[in-house]
Structure 1
Amino acid sequence: MGKGGFSWKRATGVTKTKQNFYRKTGIPTTRSGRQRKAGSTMRCATFIILSILMIITLILAIL
């Protein structure tokens, strides 16, 4: 079997509350989850900004 044991967080419902909060809001409740989501958002924003700058550069080069 697994390496189970008693968890006071599961017994009091903290784990389920955190899971429900994440599912409804999309905001991670762990530190690593927040860091991962922030990094993903920054990569996406960087790609969009670079794409816009390239389009502006191409338009200015044509004019």
Structure 2
Amino acid sequence: MKAENLAKILKNYTSGWVSISKNYKKVIASGRTLRVLLQKLEKMGNPDGYLMRAAKDYSGYVGV
């Protein structure tokens, strides 16, 4: 699996939760809490993507 650099698309998200598209090109939605994010995604028709916590620094982040 190829490593993806998410720095560009996540630079404006430093707290809360985000949903990232399957191709890692854009943030689908964000929310202050996971519950809020899931509600937004449900209203959008539950688009495919990955959920992750937003942070100020992703240098130690390893996704699975």
Taking structure 2 as the reference length, what is the TM-score of the superposition? Answer: 0.24
Which has the higher Rg, Structure 1 or Structure 2? 1
Q: Which has the higher contact order (CA 8 A, sep 6+)?
A: 2
Taking structure 1 as the reference length, what is the TM-score of the superposition? Answer: 0.24
